[in-house]
Structure 1
Amino acid sequence: MKSPIFSRSSSPLNSHSSISPPLTPRRTFPETIMEENIDYATTIITKWDLDGPTYRKMSSLFGDDRKEAKRFIEGVTGLRNAMHYYLKINSSSEKLIRAQRLMQVAMKRLEKEFYYILSSNRNVLDAESVSRGSTRSSLSDSLEDEVQGDEIIEDGNSISEADKASLMAMADLKSIADCMIGSGYGKECVRIYDLIRKSIIDESLYNLGVEKINPSQIQKMDWNVLEAKIKSWLQAVKIAVKNLFYGERILCDSVFSSSEKIAESCFAEISRDAAINLFGFPENFAKSKKILSPEKMFRALDLYEAISDLWPDIEMIFSYDSLSAVKCQGVASLVKLGESIRVMLTQFELAIQKDSSKSPSTGGVHPLTRYVMNYLVFLGDYSGVMSDTVADWPLNAQTPLPESYFSSPISGGSAIEDPSSAVTVRLAWLILVLLCKLDGKASLYNDVALSYLFLANNLNYVVSKVQNSNLGLLMGSEWISKHESKVKQYTGNYERMGWIKVIMSLPKNPTAEFSLQEVKEIFSLFNSGFEGTYKKQSGWVIPDRKLREEIKLSLAKKIVPSYRVFYEKHRGKIGREFGVESIVRYAPEDLNNYLSDLFFGTEVSTSTKTWSSYETSSESSLSSHRR
């Protein structure tokens, strides 16, 4: 018989009247992992608590120990997972509250690290370094993938110290941004980024000489001061677009690659105001009435060209919808500059038509001709910009002359199909306006021969300027050939009208038999005609050496051979008479010598208008606009 102590009914373990110990709920595997995450996060985060006792010894998490930084980010990631877990199962859990407090400590630390990296790496987060970094393999999410010991390795090759510092800073910023955004602290991260990078953009533009200037301020400026600011802006805008804003866009996209929306918001915040101010300067310049004079056009063209050349970069950098105001400002500046350029072209044409200055008494090149052609040569150098501004600006010329007179044929299409044809027509028209004005000035000479010499000199100058500049490509060979023929026509008329007495004094057949008296009369008429013509024309000018030699050679061919034949055949008839020197005054060789001395007179203008001052200064003043 068994003892009762071993019976089931009397066993203490089975007695319902006995007190059982409390049961501990069994933990699930996920809960175990989450608790471990919190414990791990507690260890690493409290170690770097800004308010903790060890803070002063560990001033830079990412700078002192990069492996420690990796562990810190991992700890925050695990903590975030734990918070999501407890939020689902028990939103009032003590563990959740503990995790939230720990997350606040971690985010406070990361805010400090983010600020420190941004502020201490300004030099290595410049446009060039950032750009080079962006062309390398994309930044990974883990510093461990990028850092091997103390070096960053790419394709087995170490990179420069500057690029290393830049790439590491970008990787750290991205790591922190990803962590903070993922933890719901994106606003705090963005606030720090905007604060520092916006100040860098503003400071950089200030150092480049970019100022905020309104039209009224421009109106009050002395032109020399304003021109200096334009030159400064032209240099600054290229650096600002291609380096500053481009680098900032790359940096922003890299740091906030986890959220395109945040990247857009950040870049828009730091760049919008500065970019609008930068691209607003040309519009403010164009609004000023002070600049609406022909001499100021080249600066307007420079500003237009700068924006136009940079436009593909501008559209790429400021592609976000939130930055449409920047592109609108750029377009507004182009439109306003285009309007101003057209106004200045119109005023330039009117200035030519209204010119009342006198022509040079020597028949040389008029100051108006020099200025206008120098002006047009420089306009030809801006043919690309000009095609944009005049393409849809039809030429409403009131002239009885056909278009072919002032425009060259456009090969390969109509004027509408080829924007450069609009520039050609516009420039050809301005040349025609000049030539018509010169025709009127030539008619004021009392001597018809001098009128033709004046026209030949001036048209030759025009053609020479066209041939030796970009105008030659725009006007075309047909235009040049046509006007070269016109020069020859003018020189022919000059020779015929200016030397008619000399040429007509010689017999048509110098070998014919003449009486002694007839010989004397022929020599006398020739002497009188040659001396009178030479004296009158000794002060006349042909500035162009080639044209001068051509005219001298042509005159010599018309006069000397016929005179030589007559001289050699008939001089002997009067060779023994008294006073023969007074009858036969010139040997054929003498005529060549006299002709060779012609047309070297000094070009003197009696003009009282401003064109005379432009004549001497146009080359230097306009050439200063060349880039």
Structure 2
Amino acid sequence: MEKNLAENSDSFAPRDETPMPDPKRDGNADAEEPPPPPSNNDEEQTEEEKKEEETAETVDAVESPPPSLEKVSEEIDQFLVETLEEKEKERVSFEIHGYVGRFLDLIEEKLEKCETGEGKAKWEEVIEKDTWLLESVNRISKFKKTLTRTQNHDENETMEEKNEGRDSIENRVGVILQRAMSFLEEDFRLLIEESRTPTELVPDVDPKGKHVERSEQKEDNLDHQQHEESESEMNFPGYTDEAIAYMSKIAGEMLTGGYESECCQVYIVARRTAFEEILQKLGFERISIDDMIQKIQWETLARDMIPAWTNTFRQCTAVYLPGERKLAEAVFSSQPSVAENLFSSLSRGVVIPLLNFAEGAAMTKRAGEKLFKLLDMYETLRDIIPKLDGLFPEESLEELTTEINLAKSRLGEAAISIFCELENSIKSETAKNPVPGGAVHPLTRYIMNYLNIAGDYKETLEQVFKDHSRIEHLDSTSRPFYQENQNQNQNDVVDEKESSTPLSPFTAQVMRVMELLDTSLDGKAKLYRDVALSNFFMMNNGRYILQKIKGSSEMRQVMGDTWCKKKSFELRNYHKNYQRETWNRVLTCLSHEGLSVNGKVQKPVLKERFKGFNALFDEIHRTQSSWVVKDEQLQSELRVSISAVVIPAYRAFMGRFAQYLDAGRQTEKYVKFQPEDIETYIDELFEGKPQQSTGRRKT
């Protein structure tokens, strides 16, 4: 530039029309002549020297290899360290050396090779071969931040002081960083999607078909669940420590480099997909509330979907969500708040559909058979809530707990409504025909079996009724009652301490159901014209009720000893009334009174007594052999009590008076039964099988 300025200096000189004086022309020979201009030979020599110098430089360059990425990276690291030191000294201006451009060139070459390559076949190659990319992104991110900080400082300087090339470098760094981050994002995606092994699961679906064995099933299911949880913890979420560590490094660089949204999007999509696989293996099917109410049959819900839901919810909160939280915390260890947000979003996406399913089940049409499945779901939510503490961040915990409690409340209200419908089941049973043979009425079986199963859920029902004891709207007869009735007609069986204990809402409702059932049975007993059969019916049904209550420790606790004593007292009365109406007539035929006049046996009267006994016993046997007692113990007790009354009386009657009948044909005509025959015929009673006449059989 100086040469050009010198060569063109005439253009900036003042123009003068007077010519310069010529020494020769003026005759001044001694005047000093100006030096001669450089010759053309000198100029050519100068150009040759330049070419030689350039050639020498080229040779030197060929002999020394270009700096490697490792070497340039070391220089970049040193540059960043020095820049940090300058920043601490509040001197942030610096010179961008040539190795910066070389570093960027080498990174671009690497990225171009990646773009034109065949791609990664396995996720292991990410860890083995892409370490350079992770390290380079780290350097580029730091370098970009350094440029940004110094750029902010330079903005306070004059335009003349500003480094004009810095904007260009910063733009180039931004482009390269974006390209590198796209590769890093793909590496992260490959690791999060491909490096995990499939979680092996065996759905632990328990249909609970036999509620009477519920306690044993709970123990077996608990052991099985604990065993399965320990196996699941070993296999979930299925990443090696090496893969998690590398994912953590990538996530850290992406978040630090300003690519948080891209990183989080890859993570959340991959983990949602993984959880969808888990839910599918556990048997849970996402379904809308409308479809549950309108399209799905309850049998399908009860048999398949609700057990799968219960198992899925329990295992998710016990195993999979805790494992998911650990994974998020490990991958995003550099940003705990990001880990919390991702886990909260993912877990909400799992829990909310499960809660929607619960609400849909609670909204289905009320029916008695649905109660226990709804209570299973209620118990699941109740047991899960304490496990949430410490699993979710505080804000998410409060929100999820509120929604779980809401779903639990709706299940509880549905359960109360269904249970209280037992009253209407009893009231609506208005059959006008008596049950054949005085057997246990179907209504009695239904109600008592229902209460017997309810006993397995006693604690849950107590809690549900306590939390949702607003049952006034169901029926005006559903009142917190019984205190005034509990002390009536119990005489010596009243337990003053027990009767003074306040009844819980659930116990009060059960007592109300039992009271209505007794009233209904009283009305049905009146349908029998035979008083003996009416008492037999009440005894038969009462025995069934008492045995069901005693067979369930929970229901016996609900009803109490006072009720059991009262029911036993009633049964004894029904038994006495039955025997009086049936067998007292038989004993009248065997009475000794009126047979002797002045010490002489009246044969005509004796013959009538035998004939009356034979006819009456034959009628009773023919009739009551069709009566039904399914309870073997009651059946045996009845036969024993009848035999104890009839056989001794008959044996004594025969022993005293049979001798007064003429031997032979007369005896055969009037004495049709031996005591052993009476016992055999009594043992045929109450089997529900009509028998032919005893007289016909003997002939």
Q: What are the Cα deviations for residues 75-120 of structure 1, in whole angstroms up to 9, with x where unaligned?
A: 5545555555554455467376666555444433321211111121
Counterpart in 1 of 2:83? 31
Distance 1:410 1:324 in 2: 44
Distance 2:325 2:591 in 1: 88
Please give the residue correspondences for 1:242-391 in structure 2 after superposition, counting only pairs within 5 Å: 242-288=318-364, 291-314=365-388, 317-322=391-396, 324-357=398-431, 358-391=433-466
* 1:457 alignment partner AA: N
What is the number of equivalent residue pairs in this alignment? 539
SS in 2 for 1:579: helix
Match of 1:434 among 509, 517, 522: 517
Contact conserved, 2:237 with 2:327, CA < 8 A, in 1? no
Q: Does residue 241 of structure 2 align to residue 167 of structure 1?
A: yes
Distance 1:68 1:581 in 2: 114
Distance 1:458 1:43 in 2: 94
Counterpart in 2 of 1:63? 124
TM-score (norm 1): 0.74
Please give the residue correspondences for 1:101-500 in structure 2 after superposition, counting only pairs within 5 Å: 103-123=177-197, 165-202=239-276, 204-205=278-279, 208-215=283-290, 218-227=293-302, 228-288=304-364, 291-314=365-388, 317-322=391-396, 324-357=398-431, 358-392=433-467, 393=469, 396=479, 402-403=485-486, 421-469=504-552, 470-500=554-584
Bigger mean CA deviation after superposition, 542-551 or 401-410? 401-410
Distance 2:199 2:234 in 1: 14
Distance 1:61 1:81 in 2: 30
Distance 1:42 1:510 in 2: 135
SS in 2 for 1:112: helix
Task: Report the Cα offset of residue 384 of structure 1.
Answer: 3.3
Q: What are the Cα deviations for residues 13-37 of structure 1, in whole angstroms up to 9, with x where unaligned?
A: xxxxxxxxxxxxxx9973398999x
Contact conserved, 1:452 with 1:493, CA < 8 A, in 2? yes
What is the percentage of aligned positions where both structures have the same residue?
Answer: 26
Distance 1:380 1:126 in 2: 37
Contact conserved, 1:449 with 1:493, CA < 8 A, in 2? yes
Counterpart in 2 of 1:51? 112
Task: Report the Cα offset of residue 65 of structure 1.
Answer: 7.2
C-alpha spacing 1:176/1:566, structure 2 compared with 1 (3 Å): same
C-alpha spacing 1:535/1:89, structure 2 compared with 1 (3 Å): closer
Contact conserved, 2:455 with 2:555, CA < 8 A, in 1? yes
Distance 2:482 2:237 in 1: 66
* 2:510 alignment partner AA: L
C-alpha spacing 1:122/1:409, structure 2 compared with 1 (3 Å): farther
Higher-Rg member (1/2): 2
Q: What are the Cα deviations for residues 430-459 of structure 1, in whole angstroms up to 9, with x where unaligned?
A: 223212211111122111111111011111
TM-score (norm 2): 0.67
Task: Report the Cα offset of residue 185 of structure 1.
Answer: 2.5
SS in 1 for 2:620: helix
Distance 1:554 1:183 in 2: 94
Contact conserved, 1:127 with 1:243, CA < 8 A, in 2? no
Counterpart in 2 of 1:556? 643
Distance 2:130 2:180 in 1: 12
* 2:407 alignment partner AA: S
Contact conserved, 2:590 with 2:613, CA < 8 A, in 1? yes
Distance 1:577 1:164 in 2: 98
* 1:542 alignment partner AA: V
SS in 2 for 1:257: coil
Structure 1: stretches of 5+ with no match in the other structure: 1-26, 129-158, 604-627
Distance 1:63 1:33 in 2: 38
Distance 1:239 1:408 in 2: 47
* 1:373 alignment partner AA: M
Task: Report the Cα offset of residue 163 of structure 1.
Answer: 9.0
Distance 1:261 1:567 in 2: 100
Distance 1:62 1:355 in 2: 69
Task: Report the Cα offset of residue 41 of structure 1.
Answer: 11
C-alpha spacing 1:328/1:529, structure 2 compared with 1 (3 Å): same
C-alpha spacing 1:500/1:273, structure 2 compared with 1 (3 Å): same
C-alpha spacing 1:177/1:450, structure 2 compared with 1 (3 Å): same
Contact conserved, 1:256 with 1:263, CA < 8 A, in 2? yes
Relative CO higher for 1 or 2, CA cutoff 8 Å, sep ≥ 6?
1
Q: RMSD of the TM alignment (CA)?
A: 4.1
